[in-house]
């Protein structure tokens, strides 16, 4: 057995490029290729699909686009595949793949991991009356529940591989489990190998978003702009202790650097010292990133804090309807015209609802894109001459949402001048599947795997109780005689994302010497100035966490996304651009230090 395990990450979401699989196969030398298709929004979409068709509810293009054209090469190389493409219906996904394997006359063995679907237990769940783990809200009515899925772990995947599976398909598991399962099988890790499990989970976290670790969504995008068309997908080489190197196929586009890998490490992790997964509670605060060569970064120092006794569980429920549209205005006073149009539309709609004795909209969003509306207090005062007015509404009744769409388009001849727009079909009301997250004790979830040898129950393995890691000492307050204010982007990389209604912004210093200045500047007051216009709910709260190993910090903005991606009316319901807002805001720094770093060893370059 080789001393290291080579795994390629071929998918970061449902819809990722189909070129990833042949690229990674062409690179050669891989033991596994893993695919992550699922997010909260994806699960909501798949739940609606399964409700319409009992044979649907999985990522069909995993079978048709990722597997079908590449099965012969997969079989020839002996590369093994792990994917959570099963979504809401892993058995149907596996049957579709088995049919394709048989059609091509191959002998690849497919295993299925199931048990995450708890929808049949909705009455029992209601009886326990859990509260939402992030907002503390009560469980919605049982009759409105559309889906319930526990986030499973990696040990059942390893068990399927132990039984000889060539391809493992799961339902909802944590994103990193597709990688960790391969590592558990290969190295023989047990629940006692906490640090190794944490390292393998971090490797999975780096792979789970595909090319986001190799230059995609990178702060220094111009460093990779010329070769994004053929961007390389990430490869990790895992060691038995859980450390690993990140690379990409030779000759492919993109970039693997401390910056690209560091941004992905910080992406959507919440508290970096309490990153709770089914198999291990992780502490990433002491993780180090070392550039070991061109397009190679060594990642080490993840620590395991114990084994959680519960599965995070996500429930979706029917919470009314929503829709919206974008109307463009250009010319003089475009912003004022767009705002007046939006106000008029909503005024007419509300007057009609009142005449019908119907309630008002439960939520309304008007964002004038082009006026720097996303920048809040830091927006420019320059008048915009081109504006896209995004207007959206939510209501318990689809007819009220349809009324908005009818009135908005019907005002086309009674609007201020300058209204324009690309012709297309009028949008329709769409059902809102809101998210409710809670914890389910592991002993209430019956996980099992099915393969050619039959069905095997996979009871949760016991491990050490999760301990609380001590917080690291914070950077000392910096001092300097010559201070200048510069945009944060000159000092740091940043990437942002979401978890439900929580926005996450990871910030990593370009050089460790800059981190004291960054930490000192990222005060709650500064963050309120940048993001206060998004923090309008009762759940609004700001948290900051320090990661000394990578000279980084993680910022959480609770209640910042208008309910989160499955139900929000915001233009950016998943906080994808929040990092860009923070990078554009200026902060103080020692001018001499900054000049020295920029002109010296090049340590703050990509």
pLDDT of residue 52: 86
pLDDT of residue 48: 82
Q: Look-up: residue for tokens 């008007």?
A: 366
Q: Which two tokens stand for residue 417?
A: 């001048």
Q: How many CA atoms lie within 13 A of 289 on its CB side?
A: 32
Under 8 Å CB-to-CB from 209, ≥6 apart: which residues?
9, 12, 13, 36, 216, 264, 267
> In which order are the strands placed within the sheet that holds 541-547?
492-499, 502-509, 552-558, 541-547
DSSP string computed for 2-33: -SSEEEEEEESSTT--TTHHHHHHHH---SEE
> In sequence order, what are the beta bridge partners of 435?
316
Task: Note the CATH number of domain 322-433.
Answer: 3.30.70
**What letters, b where the CB count within 10 A reaches 16 and e where it falls short, cover 127-151?**
eeebebebbeeebbeeeebbbbbbb
Q: Which of 279, 265, 283, 196 is nearest to 468 (CA)?
A: 283
d(CA 303, CA 299): 12
- Cα 560 from Cα 558, distance rounded (Å): 5
- Tell me the per-residue pLDDT of 451-477, one tens digit each, with 9 for 90 and over: 999 999 999 999 999 999 999 999 999
- Output the DSSP codes for 134-170: TT-PPPPPGGGEEEEEE-B-SHHHHHHHHTT-SEEEE
CA-CA distance, 35 to 285, in Å (whole number)?
A: 27
pLDDT at 605 (0 to 100): 62
Helix 177-187 vs helix 194-207: crossing angle, to nearest 10: 140
Residue 317: in which H helix or E strand, if any?
Answer: strand 310-330
Q: Which residue has the tokens 């106000």?
A: 343
For 364, the token pair is 């309304």
| Cα(427)–Cα(326) distance, integer angstroms | 10
Alpha carbon dihedral 344, 348, 353, 356, in 10-degree steps, equals 170
Strand order in the sheet with 5-11: 288-293, 296-300, 244-247, 235-238, 5-11, 32-35, 80-83, 167-170, 110-114, 448-451, 454-457
Strands 235-238 and 492-499: unpaired
Q: What's 89-106 look like in SS3?
A: CHHHHHHHHHHHHHHCCC
* Long-range contacts, 126-133 (Cβ 8 Å, 24+): 130/438, 130/439, 131/438, 132/436, 132/437, 132/438, 133/312, 133/437, 133/438, 133/439
Half-sphere CA count of 517, side-chain side, radius 13 A: 26
Write the CB contacts of 410 (distance below 8 Å, at least 6 apart in sequence). none
Residues 235-253 have pLDDT tens digits of 999 999 999 999 999 999 9
Provide the residue count of the chain.
Answer: 606
Cβ distance 205 to 264 under 8 Å?
yes
**Residues in the chain with pLDDT values less than 50:** 601-602
Return the SS3 of 34. strand
Other CB atoms within a 10 A radius of the CB of residue 218 amount to 25
Do residues 315 and 143 touch, judged by C-beta distance below 8 A?
no
CB 156 within 8 A of CB 116: no
Per domain, the residue ranges of the chain are 5-116+151-273+287-301, 322-433, 483-599
């Amino acid at each position: 057995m080789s001393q290291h395990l080579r795994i390629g990450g071929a998918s970061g979401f449902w819809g990722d490029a189909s070129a990833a699989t042949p690229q990674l196969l062409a690179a050669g030398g891989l033991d596994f290729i893993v695919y992550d298709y699922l997010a909260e929004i994806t699960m909501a979409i798949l739940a609606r699909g399964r409700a319409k068709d009992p044979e649907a509810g999985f990522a069909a293009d995993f079978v048709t686009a990722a597997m079908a054209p590449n099965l012969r090469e997969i079989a020839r190389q002996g590369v093994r595949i792990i994917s959570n493409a099963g979504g809401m219906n892993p058995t149907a996904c596996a049957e579709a793949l088995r049919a394709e394997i048989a059609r091509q006359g191959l002998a690849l063995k497919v295993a299925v991991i199931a048990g995450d679907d708890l929808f049949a237990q909705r009455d029992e769940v209601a009886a326990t009356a859990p509260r939402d783990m992030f907002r503390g809200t009560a469980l919605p009515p049982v009759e409105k529940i559309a889906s319930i899925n526990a986030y499973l772990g990696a040990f059942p995947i390893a068990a399927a591989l132990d039984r000889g599976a060539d391809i493992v398909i799961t339902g909802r598991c944590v994103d990193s489990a597709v990688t960790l399962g391969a590592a558990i099988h290969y190295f023989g890790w047990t629940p006692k190998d906490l640090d190794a499990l944490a390292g393998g989970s971090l490797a999975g976290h780096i792979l789970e978003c595909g090319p986001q670790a190799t230059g995609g969504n990178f702060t220094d995008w111009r460093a990779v702009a010329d070769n994004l068309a053929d961007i390389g997908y990430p490869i990790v080489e895992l060691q038995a202790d859980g450390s690993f190197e990140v690379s990409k196929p030779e000759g492919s586009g993109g970039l693997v650097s401390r910056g690209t890998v560091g941004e992905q490490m910080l992406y959507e992790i919440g508290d970096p010292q309490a990153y709770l997964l089914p198999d291990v509670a992780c502490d990433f605060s002491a993780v180090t990133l070392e550039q070991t060569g061109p397009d190679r970064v060594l990642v080490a120092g993840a620590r395991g804090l114990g084994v959680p006794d519960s599965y995070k569980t996500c429930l979706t429920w029917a919470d009314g309807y929503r829709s919206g549209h974008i109307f463009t205005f250009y010319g003089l006073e475009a912003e004022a015209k767009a705002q007046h149009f939006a106000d008029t539309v909503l005024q007419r709609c509300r007057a009609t609802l009142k005449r019908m004795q119907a309630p008002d909209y439960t939520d309304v969003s008007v964002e004038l894109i082009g006026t720097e509306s996303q920048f809040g207090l830091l927006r420019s005062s320059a008048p915009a001459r081109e504006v896209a007015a995004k207007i959206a509404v939510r209501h318990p009744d689809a007819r009220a949402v349809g009324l908005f769409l009818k009135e908005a388009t019907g005002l086309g001849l009674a609007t201020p001048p300058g209204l324009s727009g690309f012709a297309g079909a009028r949008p329709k009301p769409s059902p809102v599947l809101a998210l409710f997250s809670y914890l389910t004790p592991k002993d209430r979830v019956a996980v099992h795997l099915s393969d050619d040898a039959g069905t095997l129950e996979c009871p949760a393995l016991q491990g050490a109780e999760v301990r609380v890691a001590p917080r690291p000492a914070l950077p000392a307050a910096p001092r300097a005689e010559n201070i200048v204010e510069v945009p944060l982007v000159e000092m740091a990389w940043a990437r942002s994302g979401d978890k439900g209604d929580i926005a996450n912004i990871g910030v990593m210093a370009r050089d460790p010497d800059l981190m004291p200045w960054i930490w000192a500047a990222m005060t709650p007051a500064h963050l309120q100035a940048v993001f206060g216009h998004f923090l309008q709910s009762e759940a609004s709260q700001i948290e900051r966490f320090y990661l000394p190993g990578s000279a980084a910090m993680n910022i959480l903005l609770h209640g910042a996304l208008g309910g989160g991606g499955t139900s929000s009316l915001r233009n950016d319901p998943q906080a994808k651009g929040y990092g860009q807002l923070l990078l554009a805001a200026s902060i103080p720094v020692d001018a001499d230090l900054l000049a020295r770093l920029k002109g010296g060893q090049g340590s703050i370059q990509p």
